[in-house]
Amino acid sequence: MSRVQFRGEPCSHLSSLCDTVGVRLSDWDVLIIGAGVSGLSAFRALSRAGLRVACLEARERIGGRIETIHDPASPVPIELGAEFIHGRAAEIWDLVNLRHLTVYDCEEHAVHWAGGRFQRGEDSWEKISGILDEIKLRAGTKQDRTFASFLDQSPYPQNLRQWVTSYVEGFNAARADVVGIASLAEDARAADKIDGGHSFRILNGYDAVPAALIDGIEHIEKTLRLCSVVETIQWEPGSARIHVRSTLTGERYVMQARRVILTVPLGVLQAGPDENGAIRFDPEPAEVLRAARELQFGQVFRLVLRFQHAFWEERPELAKAGFLLSQEPMFPTWWTTLPVHSPILTGWSAGPHADELAGKSRVEIVRQSLSTLRNITGLTPAMLEAAYFHNWSSDPFSRGAYSYVPAGALPAREKLAGPVGDTLYFAGEATNLDGYSATVHGAIASGTRAARQVLQQR
């Protein structure tokens, strides 16, 4: 655990950063907006480099799209945001080793429910990865096209197209008729470099990763400011005034710095100026905001259900399944916690499947998920003990799940990552240029990159 407990213990002790750390408001070298893993990795790098740096976070906790519930009634931590470590990226594994976290391989055995029966997932998976390999070979950035149009011109049978579409839409939280194959190919090549097809979970809970990032940062109690919504950034080269609202006291105040690193999600950058959570700029970094609008922010509904017992194990076909895949309109994808045995199932509805759930109440979403489970297991679910859910789409500080790149829009990602006037710097998963956007390790790498950009300008 971190030295500091941030969850549920918000920032009431921070009445004024100016008073508490004994520096003038204008003395900040860098202000970081957002305490997700990208903001925290920039915070860590710049603090270590000796800069006077503070981090402003709208929520009352760190971690952003990593949110772990440690429910004593649950045998494992409940993840509402990121759950899997995809591959062996150093950004995460260095922290895992440093903090001696317990990580285990996920059970990858998948079962497909189709045509009223279960099929082994491995056969279809081989075909799906064959199609993704073809994309890796054929996709070029110059003549990008959507995944749907690529499939339309392919010789693959209809049912295989359906499965591969579900996979691409589910994994990328994207629409097949929007996402470009150039970025899919770039991401797949990058994943190959880190054994990205291999997934792991952190037994301690994913929130151990943001906790590891702040460990050892000096004066953290004073320089990390929670419950602080950034509303406006007024800037000129070499100087920025950040207008902040405290959600704790309602107080508004201004902080000043020579540079700002923005790590807010793409959905927040895309929001209209008067929407809750949105940031107004004066003047607007027009090229960056245009680039943000060219990209897409995918939607996901992710629901964790804890039952009295693991009822699906009554069916021998499901007893060893890591994943249960179907073509159901809502919650087509489910996974268990195997190899750790628990009575917990996670349902996943992404891309167009998420549209089906938008606007529904929590109760309706749970009811829908149970009826889907009944359809695809052929069993009556055991008594539900708890349902855990965070609506990332309606959360003003995320406005969705993670980014993806429409056909032809790959250059926009580069523009989003470019510094503006040596004063505004952008980080966050959507700005990752190495093929690791939409992931935790990609977000961490983007924060380190933004910190490097700042240090190069010193």
The binding site for ligand FAD (CB under 6 A) comprises 33-39, 56-59, 64-66, 81-84, 86, 229-230, 263-265, 268, 277, 279, 300, 302, 392, 397-398, 401-402, 428-429, 438-440, 443
- How far are the Cα atoms of 80, 121, 165 from residue 111, in angstroms, in the given order? 23, 5, 17
What amino acid occupies position 398?
S
Closer residue to ligand FAD, CB minimum distance, 6 or 312: 6
- Give me the torsion for CA of 202, 208, 212, 216, rounded to 10°: -150
C-beta of 83 vs 144, nearer to ligand FAD: 83
| Helices first, then strands: H and E counts in the chain | 15, 22
How far apart are CB 160 and ligand FAD at their closest, in Å? 25
Nearer to ligand FAD, 148 or 173 (CB): 173
Q: Residue 213 CB, nearest distance to ligand FAD (Å)?
A: 10
59 or 415: whose CB is closer to ligand FAD? 59
For residue 416, what are the contacts with CB-CB under 8 A and spacing of at least 6? 266, 288, 291, 292, 295, 426, 430, 431
For ligand FAD, the closer CB: 148 or 345? 345
Which residue number, 243 or 315, has a Cβ lying nearer to ligand FAD? 243
What type of residue is 194? I
Q: Which lies closer to ligand FAD via its Cβ, residue 182 or residue 213?
A: 213
| Least Å from the CB of residue 301 to ligand FAD | 8
Smallest distance, Å, CB 262 to ligand FAD?
Answer: 9
CB of 152 to ligand FAD, least distance (A): 29
Q: How far is the CB of 266 from ligand FAD (least distance, A)?
A: 9
Using CA atoms, how far apart are residues 158 and 455, in angstroms rounded to an integer?
52
CA distance 449 to 447: 5
Nearer to ligand FAD, 331 or 402 (CB): 402
Q: How far is the CB of 402 from ligand FAD (least distance, A)?
A: 5
**CB of residue 296 vs ligand FAD: minimum separation in angstroms?**
14
How crowded is the C-beta side of 274, counted as CA atoms within 13 Å? 0
First to last CA, the chain: 34
How many CA atoms lie within 13 Å of 97's alpha carbon, on the beta-carbon side?
7
- Are 212 and 99 contacting, i.e. CB atoms less than 8 angstroms apart? yes
Whether the CA torsion 399, 402, 406, 410 is positive or negative: it is: positive
Which string of DSSP letters, residue by residue, matches 187-249? HHHHHHHTTTT-EEEETT-TTHHHHHHHTT-TTHHHHEE-SEEEEEEEEETTEEEEEEEETTT
Burial of 59 (0-12, 13-18, 19+ CB in 10 A): buried
* Amino acid, single-letter form, for residue 231: E
Closest CA to 373 of 349, 342, 393, 350: 349
Q: How far is the CB of 205 from ligand FAD (least distance, A)?
A: 13
Q: What letter would DSSP give residue 433? A: -
